[in-house]
Amino acid sequence: MWRILLFDRTVDELINRARQYRCKPTDPRADYRLRIFTPRRELLFVGHPTIGSAYAVLRHGLKPKTAGRLVQECGKGLVSILIDGDRLFLTLPKPVLHDIPAVELAELANALGIASKLSTFDYISRDC
């Protein structure tokens, strides 16, 4: 058996810890709950782990409450995942938009090497 070390933990140890920590959904409409962490913080939503975890839970026997649709609970709320044979399609959570202060916009434009003709614009929240 291959043993991969990750931060001094083998894959077997990580799987056993994951089995001990069951992340049950808090919303009854959800089929499962996903929490995504970086070394510094928890992320509210990330697309690749959403699709990857959906594939994993389906492959390991999770039966969705609604045929053809899996509902994941994450930090951004409920994410609907359409199941089409072996393909999965997710509905992105609605982004939170904010105005960028003029000073930050100028710094951003300068960092990108472009001239800013706008005083402000909307961007997707850093909390996504």
pLDDT block averages, 10 residues each, the chain of length 128: 49 61 84 87 90 91 94 94 95 83 85 66 46
H/E element holding 78?
strand 77-84
Cα 61 → chain centroid: 21
Q: What is the pLDDT of residue 121?
A: 47
Q: Which of 29, 73, 30 is nearest to 50 (CA)?
A: 73
Q: What is the pLDDT of residue 3?
A: 43
**CB neighbour class for 121 (10 Å; exposed up to 12, middle 13-18, buried from 19):** exposed
Q: What is the pLDDT of residue 37?
A: 83
Is residue 105 a contact partner of residue 121, using CB atoms and an 8 Å limit?
yes
Cα 81 → chain centroid: 12
Q: What is the pLDDT of residue 7?
A: 54
- pTM of the predicted model over 0.75: no
